[in-house]
Chains A and B, each alone.
Chain A
Amino acid sequence: MRKLEIKDIEDIALGAALLGAGGGGDPYIGKLIAIGAIREMGPATLIDPEELADDAQVAAIAMMGAPTVLAEKAIGGNEYRALMDMVSQFLGKPLDAIFPIEAGGVNSMLPIAASARMGIPIVDADGMGRAFPELQMVTFTIGGIDSCPMALTDEKGNTVLYRTISNKWTEDLARAVTMSCGGAVSVALYPMTGKQLKEYGVRNILTRSQRLGEAIRTVKDYEESGTSEDHFLEFTEGYKLFKGKITDVLRETRGAFNFGRVLLDGIGEYKGRNAYVDFQNENLLANVDGEILATVPDLVCLVDAETFSPVTTDALKYGKRVVVVGLQCFEMWRSKAGLELVGPRYFGCDTDYIPVEVRCRGGQKND
């Protein structure tokens, strides 16, 4: 158990943005909401899953909708209490703790605000270990855990409680209501026991985000010795896939998602070579000189070639110099059930999943 204070927020947000793998939006507003809550209510309490009793009742807290709407309306502040009341009333027992659903700009931050405001601990575990675009893409789906009863509320006080026949249905129905409520809502979902979270959750997610954030923030200390890139890769346990300059960004919005491809021309030791990265909100696949070097569910992250700050898909633009880094995903995603849910074929990529460390073997791996 430890306290999360204002000074911890910056690094967690920065590290979570890296684990967002291009998605999750600009962490700025999420960061402010977390800081605002801690300033008013005092620090949040972070606990390890092992500190939870097996029969403890927990649920994830998240935001659904458009980051641009969140940037105008922020949150009302009473949403978390309303969500907690709805879920506990339905289950007939109070929530002992909450946890984040994913790692990414906004959804890593809001549960911290919720924890500070409700005075219950936040568990150091999530359901993705990264960010994914849809609600059913969590390890809990593999474990057969229901996303429902899911509680949804807007800042005006409208509430909806969902009971659906599948997690995919929850996603579809929740999206429809989100739009009617003004484009951004708060939800409590995947209520489960402490035992279930221990079994299926991705552990240490906030602590890992914070360490990664700290590493990115301090990597400039190695600038003079010219080893900042090595340090970045060592800290993140990342595979360097490519280093290049963005020459074009092709975008298309289909449904609620932002699809695209970013084209790269090699720089430095990659001069003369080409690569592209495909994305659907999050980065899906990295292809270097015609060879696929990483795919979902492994993380394909673009970072600024000098500062190593994560570059989200909405901030991609011509001329930006980036390093493409592959990170191993949570082990459970590599199972058959995991790949059915979030493997390359689910996202329309015509390739089987091969782990990033296997694809990179043979000269590409940085070691």
Chain B
Amino acid sequence: MIKLGIDVGGTNTDAVLIDEKMEVIAEIKRPTSEDVYSGIVGAIRAVLDVSGIDPGQIRQAMLGTTQCTNAIVERKHLAPVALIRIGAPATLGLPPMVDWADDIRAAVVDSIIVGGGFEYDGSLLAELDEDAIREFLYRIKGRAASVAISCVFSGVRNEHEVRAAEICREVLGEDIHVSISSEIGSMGLIERENATILNASLIYVANSFTEGFARSLADMGICKAEIFLSQNDGTLMTMEHARKYPVLTIACGPTNSIRGAGYLSGKRNALVVDVGGTTTDLGMIRNGFPRESSIAATIGGVRTSFRMPDVVTIGLGGGSIVREHEDGTVTVGPDSVGFEITEKALVFGGTVLTATDIAVRLGMFTLGDPERVRQIPKDLAEKAMGCIRTMAEDAIDAMKVSSGDVDVVFVGGGSIILPEELQGASSETKPAYFGTANAIGSAISKVSGVIEKLIDYDKIPRETALEAAKKEAIRSAEEAGALPGTVEIVEVEDVPLQYYPGNTNRVKIKAAGDLK
């Protein structure tokens, strides 16, 4: 069995093939095309050619794509959405989408706040007002292609959301697309509701990219493959799931890079430094998965509650411009010659002094024509490298959660400019295939399940509560397509809540396992 991993980025579309021993067979990089699909087809054709693999052997195909992000940022192809918020009499004083820009707000054709919802401890806030929901649905019939449903404390109990979704299907027909917030976001009604609305607006885009991907695979003779999409938490979802939850594909690129780097280096806990031409992204892998950011992610101006990797980006890359100032100090970046490095850098016959030229001058590696950088004073080169070192070391330090040293993995074409023995690194690895870490990350992904709830340890002893929650997370991973027996707990968050009575903690558990 062979796996095919594809990552569609802004600049490149990467494809890799991986065998059943999880070894990389072939990798390829192609420019991303305007229509996306010819780029994907081109990359698949190239990787099949290079490897000589029979397309019939490919049984799993994974795609990481930025199309949902682009659709939201560009406000293109968004479906008309109807929003039902359950929670009155609470939340009436805060209407939906108050801080949205008008152009994206236009995606919502109508909205209503109806009675229902829960308190923090799961007790009833109000009875679900089913009549109001029905009346609203008759009103929007024919105008909305998709319904978004949010509910107060649905992270604690989601019965009202589930019931409202049933009513939607009763009134609007089985085919209506319904998104419920408890399956998309976490605590914080507005951020969760925002993410749910975005999800509902992406159904056209989701249909087009899932069908397009399936078609491009079929066109290339890959007919026996199960198809999966990458999520931003580093796990996969089935094509059917992706049609329901397209918003979860947002920002899967950095996640896949981090996971691919972890896989290639064999490390389950490490700091990944991905050096490109202009910038360097740093992220942490913890138990094989990226550490998530605690800060709410904003997509196209909309604040959401997505599970995003915690990535720090600094203006340092292979093409960073090096300058010597009048007072003798030397700076590197943040501006860069970018993709023009093969024309502008000194080693390639250009006239701009870049970070790459400095590394070649110091003999760290050979690239282009080393003669062209010989005239750079050694003193200047060393100062510049000192600057690069400081930038990298500071960024590494900012990513760590404690003062101990961490294993560091370098990926990305620009990683050759970094000096060895960085402070804060207990080991340094530059694995093979580092250029296509993102497509590899996509291909090797697992499937996961997450649960999040508030638990009062005075009512349920901590051990018992956590044990039950872990079982629930494992079950949820199996429902998402994980092979029973391979599922393990990859993340446990247990945060005491300020101002709550008793001993209430917010517990979030993630389980992940191999694909069936």
Interface size grouping (class) on chain A: 35 or more
Tell me if A182 counts as interface (CB < 8 A to partner B): yes
Query: Considering the complex, which residues of chain A in the window 22-71 have a beta carbon less than 8 Å from any beta carbon of chain B?
Result: 28-29, 31-33, 35-37, 39-40, 65-69, 71
Complex Cα distance, B188 from A67, in Å, reads: 10
- Residues facing A in B94-124 (CB within 8 A) are 94-95, 98-99, 117, 119-120
Known: A35-B99, A72-B120. A78 touches B92 (CB 8 A): yes
Q: Of residues A155, A247, A256, A318, which shows the largest number of chain B Cβ atoms within 10 Å of its Cβ?
A: A155
Chain A residue contacts of B402, Cβ below 8 A: 248, 318
* Cα–Cα distance between A156 and B90 once the two chains are bound (Å): 7
Chain A minimum-CB-distance residue to B498: A258
- Nearest Cβ in chain A — how far from B407, in angstroms? 17
CB–CB B125/A182 < 8 A? yes
Identify A253's interface contact among B119, B188, B296, B498, CB under 8 A: B498
Q: Contacts A29-B190, A71-B188: A156 and B89 contacting too (C-beta < 8 A)? A: yes
Cβ distance A186 to chain B, nearest Cβ, rounded Å: 10
Q: Looking at the complex, which one of B89, B187, B296, B501 makes contact with A76 (CB distance below 8 Å)?
A: B89
CB-based contact A155/B89 at 8 Å: yes
Which single residue of chain A is at the shortest CB-CB distance from B397? A319
Q: Is the CB of A72 within 8 A of B399?
A: no
Whether the pair B95, A40 counts as a contact (CB closer than 8 A) is yes
Residue of A nearest to B396 (CB): A319
Once A32-B98, A182-B125, A318-B400 are accepted as A-B contacts, the answer to whether A77 and B187 lie under 8 Å apart by CB is no
How large, as a class, is the contact surface on chain B?
Answer: 35 or more
B90-A74 in contact (CB<8A): yes
Task: Tell me if B's interface is mostly helix, strand, loop or mixed.
Answer: loop
Give per-residue flags for B364-398: 1 if the beta carbon is below 8 A from chain A beta carbons, else 0: 00000000000000000000000000000000011
A72-B152, A319-B397 known; A314+B498 contact, CB < 8 A: yes
With both chains docked as a complex, state the minimum distance between the C-beta of B9 and any C-beta of chain A, in angstroms.
28
Docked CA distance A251–B91 (Å): 32
- Contacting residue for A66 out of B153, B397, B403, B497, CB 8 A: B497
Q: Once the chains are docked, how many angstroms separate the CA of A251 from the CA of B399?
A: 21
> How many A-B pairs with Cβ below 8 Å?
128
A74 to B117 Cα, complex, angstroms:
13
Closest residue on chain A to residue B499 by CB atoms: A66
* A117 and B98 alpha carbons, distance in the complex (Å): 16
- Name the residue among B92, B93, B296 with the largest chain A CB count within 10 angstroms: B93
Cβ–Cβ < 8 Å partners of B501 in chain A: 179
Q: How far is the CB of A158 from chain B (nearest CB, A)?
A: 11
Please name all residues of chain A whose beta carbon is closer than 8 Å to the beta carbon of B153 when the two chains form the complex: 72-73
Task: Write the nearest CB–CB distance from B318 to chain A, whole angstroms.
Answer: 25
B184-206 residues with Cβ-Cβ distance < 8 A to A are 187-190
Say if the beta carbon of A262 comes within 8 Å of chain B. no
Query: What distance in Å separates the Cβ of A180 from its nearest Cβ neighbour in chain B?
Result: 9
Which B25-81 residues have C-beta < 8 A from chain A?
A: none
Contacts of A68 in B (CB 8 A): 120, 187, 497-499, 506
Taken together as a complex, chains A and B put the C-alpha atoms of A110 and B188 apart, in Å, by: 18
Assess the B500–A183 pair: CB atoms within 8 A: yes
Q: Tell me if A277 is interfacial: C-beta within 8 Å of chain B.
A: no
Please name the 7 residue pairs, one residue from A and one from B, whose CB atoms are nearest each other, closest first: A77-B93, A66-B499, A74-B94, A75-B93, A73-B90, A155-B90, A182-B119
Known: A33-B94, A75-B90, A76-B90. 9 other contacts (CB 8 A): A32-B99, A33-B93, A66-B120, A66-B498, A73-B125, A78-B89, A79-B93, A251-B496, A317-B401
Task: Give 22 CB contacts A-B under 8 Å.
Answer: A28-B190, A29-B94, A36-B94, A39-B98, A66-B498, A68-B498, A68-B499, A73-B87, A73-B125, A76-B91, A78-B89, A113-B93, A155-B89, A183-B119, A245-B397, A251-B496, A256-B498, A317-B294, A318-B400, A319-B397, A320-B398, A321-B398
